[in-house]
Amino acid sequence: MSPPSVPTARLFGFFVKLSVVATDLLSVVLGFLVSIALYQKGFLSEFWLRGRHDPTVYMYVAMGCGATLVVSASFYRAYEHDSSILNVQESMGVLKALLVLVAGAFSVTFVARELAVSRLVLGLGLGATFILVFLFRSIHRRLLSSLHRRGLGVSNVVIYGMGDTARTLARRMVVSPRFGIRPLAFLVNQPSVTGKEITVGPGRSVPLPVLGSRQILQDCVQRFAPDGLIIADPNLALGELQQLISDAKGYGLFVKYVAIGDHVPFRLASFESIGNIPLVGEREVHLSWAHAFVKRLLDILISAVVLIVMALPLLIISLLIRFTSNGPALFRQDRAGYLGQKFTMYKFRTMYVDAPAYALKPRSQGDPRISPMGAFLRRTSLDELPQFINVFMGEMSLVGPRPEMPFIVQDYTVEHRERLRVKPGITGLWQISADRDHPIHENIDYDLYYIYHQSVLMDLVILVKTLFFAARGL
**Considering the chain, what is the average pLDDT of its residues?**
83
How confident is the model at residue 13, as a pLDDT?
77
Read off the pLDDT band of 472 (50, 70, 90): low
Determine whether domain 9-149 maps to CATH 1.10.1760: yes
> In this structure, how many other beta carbons lie within 10 angstroms of the beta carbon of residue 32?
25
148-153 mean pLDDT: 77
Of 11-20, 218-227, 307-316, 440-449, give the range with the top mean pLDDT: 307-316
3-state secondary structure of 99: helix
Read off the pLDDT band of 368 (50, 70, 90): confident
Q: How far apart are the first and last CA of the chain?
A: 57
297 versus 154: which is more confidently predicted? 297
Q: Which of 26, 98, 89, 95 is nearest to 63 (CA)?
A: 26
Read off the pLDDT band of 7 (50, 70, 90): very low
3-state secondary structure of 306: helix
Read off the pLDDT band of 3 (50, 70, 90): very low
Contact 252, 3 (CB under 8 A): yes
Contact 336, 342 (CB under 8 A): yes
Give the tens place of pLDDT for each residue, 444-466. Answer: 888 888 998 889 999 999 998 88
pLDDT at 49 exceeding the cut of 60: no
199 versus 419: which is more confidently predicted? 419
How confident is the model at residue 4, as a pLDDT?
41
Entry pTM: 0.75
Q: What is the dihedral of CA 9, 13, 19, 23, to 10 degrees?
A: 140
7-16 mean pLDDT: 72
Question: Taking the domain 155-258, which CATH number applies?
Answer: 3.40.50.720
Q: What is the dihedral of CA 56, 59, 60, 63, to 10 degrees?
A: -170
State how far the Cα of 130 lies from the Cα of 467, in Å rounded to an integer: 14
What is the residue type of 102? V
Q: What is the dihedral of CA 176, 178, 180, 184, to 10 degrees?
A: 20
Lowest mean pLDDT among 278-282, 308-312, 351-355: 278-282
Read off the pLDDT band of 5 (50, 70, 90): very low
Give the tens place of pLDDT for each residue, 167-202. Answer: 888 888 887 766 778 899 998 888 777 778 887 765
State how far the Cα of 393 lies from the Cα of 423, in Å rounded to an integer: 12
Q: Which helix (H) or strand (E) holds 266?
A: none
The residues that bridge with 344 in the sheet, in sequence order, are 334
Give the residue extent of every domain in the chain: 9-149, 155-258, 289-473
Read off the pLDDT band of 263 (50, 70, 90): low
Phi, psi of 200 (to 5 degrees): -95, 120
DSSP 419-473: GGGS--EEE-TGGGSTTTTS-GGG-HHHHHHHHHH--HHHHHHHHHHHHHHHHHH
